[in-house]
Amino acid sequence: MTADVMAQSTDADKSPTTGSPAAATPDESTGTDNYTGAGKPLAASEIRGMRERIDEIDQAIIDLWLERSRLSREVGKTRMASGGTRLVLAREREIVERFRTALGPDGTQVALLLLRSGRGPL
């Protein structure tokens, strides 16, 4: 995300009491709602609704990411305590391939980050 995109949503858009975004806050000159970027109130309201679900999905991804990372470390510890190897590259290749098949080249990057988050950098 660029700094420019980040700059579009500031604390000024949020209620000082709840920290939640204030109700539609159209820009005085353009009529654009600063928080959603929408040009009309109806679109702003629709976007807010969809963003609620996006936020839920993001939280689920974060929770699953952390759970996977903990499990992966646990597997590594168990294997090493038994005199085994730290990593199993054949299994890692299988995982990278699953993500690549489902998501394309970006899937490869996601899988590599996921693997790194469990066992640290190579």
Ligand X SMILES: C=C(O[C@@H]1C=C(C(=O)O)C=C[C@H]1O)C(=O)O
What's the rounded Cα separation, in Å, for the pair 122 and 120? 7
Q: How many residues bind ligand X (CB under 6 A)?
A: 11
Pick between residue 41 and residue 118 the one whose CB is nearest to ligand X. 118
Nearest distance from C-beta of residue 94 to ligand X, angstroms: 8
Site for ligand X in 68-97 (CB under 6 A): 72, 75-76, 87-88, 91-92, 95
Q: Cβ distance 102 to 53 under 8 Å?
A: no
Q: Which residue has the tokens 């066992």?
A: 119
Structure tokens at 70: 């903990």
Q: Check residue 22 and report its DSSP letter.
A: P
Using CB under 6 A, list all residues that contact ligand X.
Answer: 72, 75-76, 87-88, 91-92, 95, 115, 118-119
